[in-house]
Amino acid sequence: MDALKNQMKRVILCKRKDEGEAIFLNCTLMHKNTPVVDLVIDADSGIIDEAGHVHHEAHLPLGTITVSGVDEGKLSRHLLSKWWNGRTIPASRDSLERVLLELATPFASALAVKCYGLSLSDQYWIRPDGTDLEWSKVNFFQNEFSTDMGELLFGKEFPDRSRINAVSPDNTSDGWLEKKWIILDGKRLLMKGGSGPYQQEPLNELVACAVMKRLEITHIPYTLTFENGQPYSLCETFVTPETELISSHHVAKTKKWAQEDSLHTHLLRCAGELGIPNVPPAIEKMLVLDYIIANTDRHHLNFGFLRHAETLEWLGFAPIYDSGTSLWHNTQFVGRAPRSKSFEGTHEEQITLVRDFSWFDYRALHDLGGECAEIFAKSELIDEKRRDALVRAIEARVKEIEQMRNRSLAKPSLAQRLAAAEEGKIKVQDATQEKQSPRKDKDER
């Protein structure tokens, strides 16, 4: 990786335009081994200055094609830039400002350039013109990477900044919580911290896993570790060298949003047209989980779909991950009605999108409270009073889901309602009518 660091330095310095002191990088956005589109990137800011020839349109990042208007069907530099900027460390990360000062780098997007835009979530990267770099030699799945950036983000000081190797997947990790990628026994693991006085998010990941394991919901396993007395969650990347994660946010950008459609309906339409299998039941299980754990941060970058990076075949809904911002993690008022983010503003509204509760096995959760208590007891930052309150709140929400299940099973099915309509007992319109959630305004998307 030192060789890659030095090569990038040479590449940037030799790609200078006669525009003052601006330094530009001519490169090609690659999708594993497939050239996608030629780019010119401002090396100082990391911003895409030009998008040129498109080599393979099918491999363009999802959500970068204009879906309406005179440019419908064409690559949008604006959307491509938004996608690229979304690969950078967000401004909300507490340590970012300090790291940028330490590296004398004004923009987080410039850090992505230093690691060729490589990530442990997908197979996109940039290949500078004039180099013979190959995906097999630079990707983070099969090659070692520097841990300098991760240590820097965790507060380590480097006396000599010139020795910092920034070829790291930490440059392209999103989210506001403290995190870093490490390699342990050959596995790529994400180490992620908590926030506030309780530092509860890492423990919440374990609680979510306990719920999903019992209910047989496909998910990413998390473990717990401590560093300097602080809890951190650990999970292995579920993306392989052959696959990639595509967020719900980007899937929803593949089709024009019809005015009459709710966000939920729109996403299902987009997923259906792309041919992603088994989406509705997977989303319903996620909504049930999020109700139980009072998840307040399941936005559309926090769940998504798996795709084969070379054939572009859709593999299905991704295993559920990143459930830590939940369970009243940042408030002393445990049990207060939480907000939701996925499709509706409250979980009470959102859970009405679930049509099938038949899979929900209340018996599988009968002793969940005891397991949750053991998890919270691992941290000295959560006292007995708070631990008991959390367990009671979880158990109460599990009971609420069971009550919803019982009510839904007591209702006649659509087939039964249609049969009744044929017999003239009810109107056909009443038999087929389903509730449609109101469409969110543009500023709520």
**pLDDT tens for each residue of 151-183:** 999 999 888 888 899 999 999 999 999 999 999
Per-residue pLDDT tens over the stretch 92-137: 998 999 999 999 898 999 999 999 999 999 999 999 999 999 999 9
Instruction: Tell me how far apart the alpha carbons of residues 397 and 411 are, in angstroms, rounded to a whole number.
Output: 21
372-408 burial, b at 16+ Cβ within 10 Å, e below that, comes to beebbeebebbeeebbebbbebbbebbeebbebbeee
Which residues lie below 8 Å from residue 30, measured CB to CB, with a gap of 6+?
36, 124, 125, 126, 127, 135
Give 352's DSSP letter: G
pLDDT for position 160 = 87
CATH of domain 243-411: 1.10.1070.20
Distance of CA 224 to the CA centre of its chain: 20
Name the pLDDT band for 147 (thresholds 50, 70, 90): very high
Q: What is the pLDDT of residues 344-361, one digit of tens each?
A: 999 999 999 999 999 999
Global model pTM greater than 0.85? yes
> Residue 404's pLDDT is what?
97
Q: Name 50's bridge partners.
A: 40
What's the pLDDT score for residue 1?
57
Determine contact, residues 149/155, Cβ cutoff 8 Å. Answer: no
State the pLDDT confidence band at 148, using cuts at 50, 70 and 90: very high
Helix, strand, coil percent values for the chain (each to nearest 5): 35, 15, 45
pLDDT of amino acid 275: 98
Domain layout of the chain by residue ranges: 2-181, 243-411
Give the pLDDT band of residue 442 (cuts 50, 70, 90).
Answer: very low
